Structure 1
């Protein structure tokens, strides 16, 4: 009887964990339940993020991208990373080759794929961090605070989100210096054995 109760509890735990994992959408992209679905009007998304006390991050992905899969399975599944991003960012997913309509900050209406070309994003995943306010009517590529092209390990990934959230880009500490400092602090405290 005790064995049956244990197995039932284990099955419940596994199904609950699986429910939190990313799923694959009809477009072939991994979907996190906490990603935001919007009308992809960048100025409106920046305003919505600000209203929630967050920052806007756009993530470009594509069907079959092994690095996107790794980002979802190894990085975004980590509770420390996931919880920090959920609490501090409104994340909107774009399909690098998609046809959904996008309104750039300069007012131009594009498809996702033409926006990727216009903004110069050619790798997936690419995460684009936008300013707190829409500001001047310039293209996203000119307005972006930072861009993270490609897949990175946990600490580089998380520290980029922290660097943006803390507005460290406004100071003189370059991201690489910031990242190295945080890694050293984690090592010194014994909280980090290997970087990623």
Structure 2
């Protein structure tokens, strides 16, 4: 029995931690968030080299919606795994002083870059395509920008839709999400014998 418990403990410790801890800056931290120089062109190149999509998450200290996103949505095991496998996540602080270099080469403190990029609400998620043209700013380059926290099913659909470049398909996200929601509902009904 003791060997079995030792095996289970070792197995559980080898798994990635799901969920966020609170950082010294008052922002939720996950182990899949990247500590970068916040140079958008470099971060995009690194994401692409790993076969991942660049996701910038804007948050702020005391943000109840950020807490909900981390505790109720991103901590769901399937969502956590999907983010880890498919996204290169860089966190930005809406009122932070860390320097950020935009795709267009301009360098500003996070709080000033938030103003330049029009980020006024947290969380705001900015998803970038694999390639960004030279000289464009992040808001122009973003494939999708989503202000606000949403439920797990909406987040799941958004992550998949962006990763699979659904924004290029002509089907907007709301229609995609409705289609996926209906498919899940039909599958649940089929599984219960209804």
TM-score w.r.t. structure 1 length?
0.87
Q: What pairs up with 1:144-155 in 2 under 5 angstroms? A: 144-155=142-153
What's 2:160 paired with? 162
Does structure 1 retain, via aligned residues, the 8 Å contact 2:18–2:80?
A: no
Aligned partners of 1:106 and 1:58: how far apart in 2? 16
Give secondary structure in 2 for the equivalent of 1:190: helix
Runs of at least 5 residues in structure 2 that lack an aligned partner in the other structure: none
Alignment of 1:22 onto 2:58: no
The within-5 A match list for 1:6-155 is 20-155=18-153
| CA-atom RMSD in angstroms | 2.3
Q: 1:18 and 1:192, CA in 2 relative to 1: closer, same or farther beyond 3 A?
A: farther
Cα deviation for residue 19 of structure 1 reads 5.1
**1:108–1:153: structure 2 CA closer, same or farther, 3 Å change rule?**
same
Structure 1 gaps of 5+ residues are none
SS at match of 2:75: coil
Q: Report the secondary structure of 1:91's partner residue.
A: strand
SS at match of 2:62: coil
Q: 2:171 aligns with which of 157, 170, 173?
A: 173
**C-alpha distance in structure 2 between counterparts of 1:46 and 1:140, whole Å:** 11
Deviation at 1:21, TM superposition (A): 2.9
Say if 1:58 and 1:117 are closer, same or farther in 2 by CA, change over 3 A: same
Distance 1:161 1:74, change over 3 A: same
After superposing on structure 2, the runs of 4+ consecutive aligned residues of structure 1 that deviate more than 6 Å are: none
CA distance in 2, matches of 1:108, 1:81: 33
